[in-house]
Amino acid sequence: MKKIEAIIKPFKLDEVKKALNDIHIEGMTVTEVKGFGRQKGHTELYRGAEYAVDFLPKIKIEVVTTEETAAKVVDAIQNTAKTGKIGDGKIFVSAIEETVRIRTGERGKEAL
Amino acid sequence: MFRKILVAIIFLSYLVMPIAVMAEEAQAPAGQPAAAAAPAPAAAPAPPPKIDSGDTAWVLTSTALVLLMTAPGLALFYGGMVRKKNVLGTIMQSFIILCVISVQWVLWGYSLAFGPDKGGIIGGLEWLGLNGVGLDPNPDYAATIPHQVFMAFQMMFAVITPALITGAFAERMKFSTFLVFTVLWATFVYDPIAHWVWGLSGGKGWLNNLGALDFAGGTVVHISSGVSALAAAIVLGRRKGYMTDIMAPHNLPMTVLGAALLWFGWFGFNAGSALTAGALATSAFVVTNTATAAAALAWMFAEWIQRGKPTVLGAASGAVAGLVAITPASGFVGPMASIVIGVGAGVICYMAASLLKPLLGYDDSLDAFGVHGIGGTWGAIATGLFATTAINPAGANGLFFGNPGQVGKQFIAVLASWVWAFVITFILLKVLDWTMGLRVSQDEEVEGLDLTQHGESGYSS
C-alpha cells in the first residue's frame, strides 16, 4: 500500500477530487495547511506598517491506495493540479505498513 | 509612473478647486441665508424659556446617534484592528466606558463640567447627582430644550472621549486599572477642559471667555483624548513584539463597519451641537459629510501615491480623520472650506500614522494620537482660518475672512488642551502604574486579553 500526499493550490481541490473519483478513489483526507516553497509570499500594508506574509494557504490531500493504483493517482493529481506557475505544489509518495477499518476490523487491502 | 502622476493630478484638483470657489464666495458674501435663522444662545433672558418640540426631538435623536459612535462604532472600528486574541478586550473597553461614564456623569461629571462656574476653571458641585438639573430649559446652554436633554447629549460626548484613548493602549492594558483610569481621567482631564471651552453657567469657562471657537468638541474631545493617548502610549510602552511580530488587523470588514457607524453617528455629534433643528444644524450636517468624504479620498490618494495601493483601512481611517478635523469647525465654516479641512486632515493624519509614529518609535497601537490628536489640532487651527460669521453670527471670522487674531485664540486653546491633557494623564498613569500596575503580565499579553482578562474567546475555533 502507498500513501500519496499532495500539496496543491486551494482552488484546484474540486478538479483534483473529481479526477480521483474518475479513477475510483473512494476516500481521501483534506487539510487546510500553510507553507512556502519557491513561491514567495506577499507583503501587506496597514497604515504604513508593512508585514511580509511568507506562509501561503495550501490544501493537503492524503490518499492511501494499492501499489497498482498509486501511479494513476499521482498522474491524476499532477495533471489536474498543474497551472504551470510557481506554487503548484508537490506530491509525496510513501509506503504504508498496515490499514485497519475501525468499524469491521478488516485489515490491509480489504480495509482500503 | 504615469499612473502616479494621474493620481496626483486628481488629488490636487480636490485641493485647488474648493480654494478657488471659496475666493469667489468671499467676494460675494450674501450667499449664505443661514445666518438669519442661527441661534443666539446668550440672548433673551427675560421671557420664560419655552420648550420647542422640534429642537427637543432633534437633540434627543442626536444623543442616541452619539451613543452609537461609541458602542458599536468605535468598538468595532478598534475591535477589527487588533489581533484575534484581543477582540473582546478591545470591544469591552468601549462598551464598559459607556456604562462607567454614564454613571459618573450623572453623579458628578456634569456638575464639574457644566455646573456654576468657579473662576473659569471648573464647574461647582451644586449640580451633584443632577440636583437642580431638571426638565425646564437652562437658557445658559439651550433655551428651547429641557436641561436634562442637554445633559444627556453632553454625556455621550463624555463617554466617547475616554473610549478614543483606548486605541493607544490596546492589547496590553490591565482591565481593572483601565476602569480606575477611566473614572480619574474623566474627572481630572475631560470635565475641566469641557468647562474651559463650554462652561457658561454663571460665568464663562476661560477659553470660552477668550473667544476660542470649538463647535462640537475639537479641543474638548479630540485633542484631549488624542494627546492623552500619546501620553498613554509613552507611559505603557510598546506591545511585546512591536515592529517584529505581525500585528495585522484581524478583521478589516469589522473596522470599516465601525468607521461607517462613526460617520453616521457623527451627524448627531456635529449637527446636534447646534442644539436646534434648523439652519445651523443643516450647515453643520453638510460640512461634516463633505469634509469626511474629502479626507477619506485624501488619505487613500496619499497612500496610493506613496505606497502604491489604495487601502481599505486607509480610506476608513481617512474618513475618521476628516470627522475629527471638521468637528470644531462644523458650525462655523462653509462647504468649500470643509473640503480643504478634509483634504488637510487626510494627508496630515496619514503622515502622522505612517511616517511620524515609526520615526519616533512610540506604539500608539491604533493611532488614537495620529488621528485624534493631530487631526483635532489641525481642525482647531483650521477653524481659526476658515470660520465666518456668514455661517454663524454667534461665532467669529477667521484669518481668511479678515480676522487673523482668531488663529492666535485657537492656538492658545490648542496649547492649553495639549498641556493639561498630557501632563495630567501622564501623572495619573504613573500613579496607577506604581499602585495597581498598568500592564498585563508578558504571558498574559501573549495569550491575549480575551482569555486572561475576561475568560472568553471572541471566536470559537
Check whether B10 has a pLDDT greater than 80. Answer: no
Interface contact A49-B247, CB threshold 8 A:
yes
Distance CA B190, CA B178 (A): 16
DSSP E strands in B74-121: the ranges are 117-118
Question: Is residue B114 within 8 Å of B195, Cβ to Cβ?
Answer: yes
Q: Inform me whether the C-beta atom of residue B317 falls under 8 Å from chain A C-beta atoms.
A: yes
Q: How many CB atoms lie within 10 A of CB B359?
A: 8
For residue range B343-373, list pLDDT tens digits in order.
Answer: 999 999 999 999 999 999 999 999 999 999 9
Block residue for cell numbers 509525496? A92
Residue B28 has pLDDT above 50, yes or no: no
Distance in Å, alpha carbon of B424 to nearest chain A alpha carbon? 29
* B244-273: pLDDT as tens digits: 888 999 999 999 999 999 999 999 999 999
Nearest to B311 among A45, A51, A53 (CB): A45
- With CB atoms and an 8 Å threshold, state whether A44 touches B248: yes
**Is residue B34 very low, low, confident or very high in pLDDT (cuts 50, 70, 90)?**
very low
Do the beta carbons of residue B173 and residue B94 sit within 8 Å? no
Q: How far is CA B72 from CA B64, B166, B168, B289, B318, in A?
A: 12, 15, 19, 20, 19
Task: State how many domains chain A has.
Answer: 1
Backbone angles phi, psi at B303, to 5 degrees: -70, -40
- Smallest Cβ–Cβ distance between B354 and the set A44, A48, A53 belongs to A48
Are B168 and B239 in contact by the 8 Å Cβ rule? The answer is no
Of the pLDDT bands very low, low, confident and very high (cuts 50, 70, 90), residue B21 is low
- Partners of B314 on chain A (C-beta within 8 Å) are 47
Q: What is the CATH number of the domain that holds A103?
A: 3.30.70.120
Mean pLDDT within B100-124? 96
Query: B313–A47: do the CB atoms touch at under 8 Å?
Result: yes
Mutate to test the interface with B, among A42, A43, A44, A46 (most CBs of B within 10 A): A46
Query: Residue B26: pLDDT above 80?
Result: no
Bridge-partner residues for B173, per DSSP?
B439
**For chain B, what are the domain ranges?**
54-435
* Percent of chain B's residues with pLDDT above 90: 87
- Reference B382, options B352, B330, B341, B336; nearest CA is B341
**Inter-chain touch A46–B313, beta carbons under 8 Å:** yes
Q: Do the Cβ atoms of B307 and A53 come within 8 Å?
A: no
Q: Residue A68 sits in which domain range? A: 2-111
For B43-81, write each residue's pLDDT tens digit.
545 566 789 999 999 999 999 999 999 999 999 999 999
Report yes or no: B313 at the A interface, CB cutoff 8 Å: yes
Q: Which of B246, B309, B354 sits opposite A47 (nearest CB)?
A: B354
Mapping DSSP to helix (H, G, I), strand (E, B) and coil, where does residue A65 land?
strand
Specify the pLDDT at position B1: 59
Q: Is A51 in CB contact (< 8 Å) with chain B?
A: yes
The DSSP letter of residue B364 is: -
Q: What is the interface pTM, i.e. ipTM, of the complex?
A: 0.74
State the pTM of this model: 0.86
Which regions of B78-120 does DSSP assign to beta strands (E)?
Answer: 117-118
Closest residue by Cα to residue B194 from B242, B165, B162, B232: B162
Q: What is the DSSP letter of B352?
A: I
Architecture of domain B54-435: Orthogonal Bundle (1.10)
For chain A, say whether B249 makes contact (Cβ under 8 Å).
Answer: yes
Residue B461's pLDDT is what? 66
CB B193 within 8 A of CB B128: no
Q: How far is A59 from chain B (nearest CA, A)?
A: 19
Q: Do the Cβ atoms of A48 and B367 come within 8 Å?
A: no
d(CA B120, CA B127): 17
Q: CB distance B248–A46 less than 8 Å?
A: yes
Contacts of B309 in chain A (CB under 8 A): 45
* pLDDT higher than threshold 90 for residue B119: yes
Interface membership of A47 toward B (CB under 8 Å): yes
Q: How far is A62 from chain B (nearest CA, A)?
A: 23
Q: How far apart are alpha carbons B38 and B274 in whole angstroms?
A: 9
B202 backbone φψ class: left, alpha, beta (φ>0; ψ -120 to 50) = left
Average pLDDT, chain B: 92
3-state secondary structure of A100: strand
C-alpha B450 chain-centroid distance = 27
Interface check B363 vs A, CB under 8 A? no
- Summarised one tens digit per residue, pLDDT across range A26-65 is 899 999 999 988 877 888 889 988 888 888 999 999 999 9
